[in-house]
């Protein structure tokens, strides 16, 4: 998420105007702006995999996916989720949505605390939100919190299937982590390769 807060407080209007001309993206929390750190290859792979699968699924749907350049408005705060799905919007804005159905964040060392605490609490208060998805990049762990289940966490790992229930999309964890380079993924595919070789030898 965001790092290096500026000291002064600014208005929502000034923040939004500033983002239109800034070369660096900033998030806006409690009147302060925070510059966002750059993303790793694994971060971009995961976010791209999720966005791509959702985009293909929603081609002929009224729901629309957005990648990380679109802001979400949560109360008086603005964030850049890694993936967002919007299905119904009463008052659409050109540069943000206040009515997301799904929000996805990919964790990194600089974002973990904010994504798991501050954003979690703020996002859960968005009336339209049905699912909040938190995805690890250094290990394999996909956490889904659903409004329909009282925001209780469900965790999914390699070999599992999961469902974004609000849009009816079923994915495998393997699809989410395609091309990702971490120890869990490497071990999983090595075990699959050995199992395949053993099956051929029988």
Dist. CA 200–CA 147, nearest whole Å = 45
Dist. CA 148–CA 93, nearest whole Å = 27
Query: Which tens digits make up the pLDDT trace of 23-61?
Result: 999 999 999 999 998 889 999 999 999 999 999 999 999
* CB-count exposure of residue 157 (10 Å: 0-12, 13-18, 19+): middle
Dist. CA 50–CA 52, nearest whole Å = 5
Residue 6, pLDDT score: 45
Dist. CA 116–CA 98, nearest whole Å = 20
Q: What's the pTM value of the predicted model, to 2 decimals?
A: 0.90
From the CA atom positions of the chain, what is the Rg in Å? 18
Query: Which tens digits make up the pLDDT trace of 60-85?
Result: 999 999 999 999 999 999 999 999 99
What residue ranges do the domains of the chain occupy? 39-201
Q: Does domain 39-201 have CATH number 3.40.50.150?
A: no
More confident residue, 191 or 28: 28
Dist. CA 7–CA 131, nearest whole Å = 33
């Amino acid at each position: 998420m965001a790092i290096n807060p500026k000291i002064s407080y600014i208005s929502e209007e000034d923040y939004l105007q500033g983002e239109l001309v800034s070369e660096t993206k900033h998030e806006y929390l409690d009147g302060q702006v925070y510059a966002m750190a750059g993303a790793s290859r694994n971060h971009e792979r995961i976010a791209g995999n999720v966005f791509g699968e959702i985009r293909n699924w929603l081609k002929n749907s009224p729901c629309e996916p957005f990648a990380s350049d679109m802001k979400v408005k949560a109360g008086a705060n603005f964030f850049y989720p890694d993936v967002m799905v919007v299905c119904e919007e009463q008052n659409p804005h050109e540069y943000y949505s206040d009515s997301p159905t799904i929000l996805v964040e990919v964790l990194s060392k600089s974002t973990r605390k904010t994504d798991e605490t501050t954003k979690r609490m703020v996002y859960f208060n968005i009336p339209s939100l049905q699912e909040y998805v938190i995805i690890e990049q250094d290990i394999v762990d996909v956490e889904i919190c659903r409004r329909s289940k009282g925001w209780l966490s469900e965790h999914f790992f390699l070999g599992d299937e999961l469902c974004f229930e609000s849009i009816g999309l079923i994915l495998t964890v393997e699809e989410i982590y395609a091309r990702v380079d971490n120890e869990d993924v490497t071990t999983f595919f090595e075990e699959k390769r050995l199992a395949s070789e053993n099956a051929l030898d029988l």
